Amino acid sequence: MATSTLVTGIAELVTNDPALGEGPLGILHEAAIVAVAEPGADDGAAPLGGRVAWVGPASGAPAADRAIDVAGRAVVPGFVDSHTHLVFAGDRSAEFAARMAGERYDGGGIASTVGATRAASDDELRARLAGFVAEARAQGTTTLEVKSGYALDVDGEARLLRLAREVTDETTFLGAHVVPAEYVGRTDEYVALVTGDMLAACAPHARWIDVFCEPASPHAFDGDAAREVLLAGRGAGLGLRVHAGQLAPGPGVGLAVELGAASVDHGTYLTPSDVAALASSETVLTLLPGVEFSTRSPYPDARALLDAGVAVALASDCNPGTSFTSSMPLVVALAVREMGMTPAEALWAATAGGARALRRDDVGHLGVGARADLAVLEAPSYVHLAYRPGVPLATALDLPGA
Ligand SMILES: N=CN[C@@H](CCC(=O)O)C(=O)O
Ligand SMILES: [Zn+2]
């Protein structure tokens, strides 16, 4: 039998549905929400925490089997973190310290994570991954994309994706992360492996394919190689995502738009034609301010991008090299303070924007029928996410059935 839960005492509810409340965030005050869960459901069609069955002013709330009173807190849609690299072993804190002493990031440190990850057991990787998922949930994240990319051989990449699939359906094959040591000087042969045997082994465990298209890095892939990888992935039924414009402007953004990628990520460096192409496309630009923070790079001008009509998402890019944070509240605060977004734009980008970057309409908002993925804030308003940086305000709400 289905279990219904009434969440009451919501001082401010962000629905991200303008039809339900004020402004683009669809804000309701003194609100309530009802979630209905089927016991034992966990197949995505009927999620464990249930779906939103009713949302509106608390005064009109229907009765339910159980009630949770959040006592004057704000509730927002759970964060949709559409870009992470969470299956890895090893430690790169020394690389971070060197960077803070003046060294530049060029992707070379990825090799050290590849070595440690290849040597780790399934259980070691699984335990670390579970720790990151719990850490993210404790900060309000309810949907996570997870990439492979730290094995770079056929069995290893498939193993990372199998492990990622244990925690999310949003898994991304990133065999084209960098050229591994054993293929240096033979990039063409490595691309043939990625688009051949590796793709065949990985596609059954992945929804997406991604490529680090960055000709400015001696380790990553140029536009031609990236095109080959993306076309092969599309042929295998995968959706497209691209890492581009992290170190310098390059061909990746244009390629992502041309091929209809769901998202192109980083965008630290963009040309005016990149911006124009994005603005007239269905491709989301996912900004990753944790990377600029942790690599001492200039922040992209999100204000100008939004004003130009680009669809912007925010994600953590949690990884051991360029952004070792799982904190979406930190990402929101950085986007507001350093990239010119308003608190409302940043919250939208970290929730509905992430959903759009994953081409999902069941997360990132709290309209009737959406997944009942709620984040509760230890604050009366979502504005506190940026106003009180570094304070642990957000947490995902556990509903009966979850
Ligand atoms: N730039 C490429 N990939 C990751 C970093 C990976 C690493 O340094 O371990 C990123 O998104 O920033
Ligand atoms: Zn990344």
Q: SS in 3 state form for the chain? A: CCEEEEEEEEEEEECCCCCCCECCCCEEEEEEEEEEECCCCCCCCCCCCCEEEEEEEHHHCCCCCEEEEEEEEEEEECEEECCECCCCCCCCHHHHHHHHCCCCCCCCCHHHHHHHHHHCCHHHHHHHHHHHHHHHHCCCEEEECEECCCCCCHHHHHHHHHHHHCCCCCEEEEEECCCCHHHCCCHHHHHHHHHHHHHHHHHHHCCEEEEEECCCCCCCECHHHHHHHHHHHHHCCCEEEEEECCCCCCCHHHHHHHHCCCEEEECCCCCHHHHHHHHCCCCEEEECHHHHHHHCCCCCCHHHHHHCCCCEEECCCEECCCECCCCHHHHHHHHHHHHCCCHHHHHHHHCHHHHHHCCCCCCCCCCCCCECCEEEECCCCCCHHHHCCCCCCEEECCCCCC
What does the radius of gyration of the chain's CA atoms come to, in whole angstroms? 21
Would the annotation count 252 as a binding residue? no
CB of 258 closer than 8 Å to CB of 242: no
Position in ligand 1 atom list of the atom nearest CA 320: 9
First CA to last CA distance, the chain: 15
- The residues facing 14 across adjacent strands are 27
Classify residue 125 as exposed, middle or buried by CB count within 10 Å of its CB (0-12, 13-18, 19+).
buried
Nearest of 235, 180, 179, 177 to residue 210 by alpha carbon: 177
Q: How far is the CA of 213 from the centre of ligand 1 (A)?
A: 11
- The residues facing 55 across adjacent strands are 33
CA-based torsion, 14, 17, 19, 24: positive or negative: positive
Q: How far is the CA of 242 from the centre of ligand 2 (A)?
A: 9
Residue 59 has what pLDDT? Answer: 96
CB of 157 closer than 8 Å to CB of 173: yes
Residue 363 has what pLDDT? Answer: 98
**Homologous superfamily (CATH) for 3-78+364-396:** Urease, subunit C, domain 1 (2.30.40.10)
Q: Which ligand is nearest to the CA of 295?
A: 1
Running along the chain, 402 residues long, what does each successive block of 10 average in pLDDT?
A: 93 98 98 89 64 97 96 98 98 98 97 98 98 98 98 98 98 98 98 99 99 97 98 99 98 98 98 98 98 98 98 98 98 98 98 98 98 98 98 94 58
- Cα–Cα dist 120/128, whole Å: 11
Q: How far is the CA of 117 from the centre of ligand 1 (A)?
A: 15
Would the annotation count 177 as a binding residue? yes
Nearest of 188, 286, 194, 202 to residue 243 by alpha carbon: 286
Residue 401 has what pLDDT? Answer: 64
The residue extents of the domains of the chain are 3-78+364-396, 79-357
Q: How far is the CA of 107 from the centre of ligand 1 (A)?
A: 7
Tokens of 268: 């630290």
Would the annotation count 390 as a binding residue? no
Residue 145 near ligand 1, beta carbon < 6 Å:
no
Residue 320 near ligand 1, beta carbon < 6 Å:
yes
Residue 49 has what pLDDT? Answer: 73
Q: How far is the CA of 240 from the centre of ligand 2 (A)?
A: 14
Residue 48 has what pLDDT? Answer: 66
CB of 386 closer than 8 Å to CB of 336: yes
Asked if the interface predicted TM-score (ipTM) of this complex is over 0.85, the answer is yes
What is the CATH topology of the domain spanning 79-357? TIM Barrel (3.20.20)
Residue 242 near ligand 1, beta carbon < 6 Å:
no
Beta carbons within 10 angstroms of residue 72's beta carbon: 12
Which residue is closest in CA terms to ligand 1's atom 2?
212
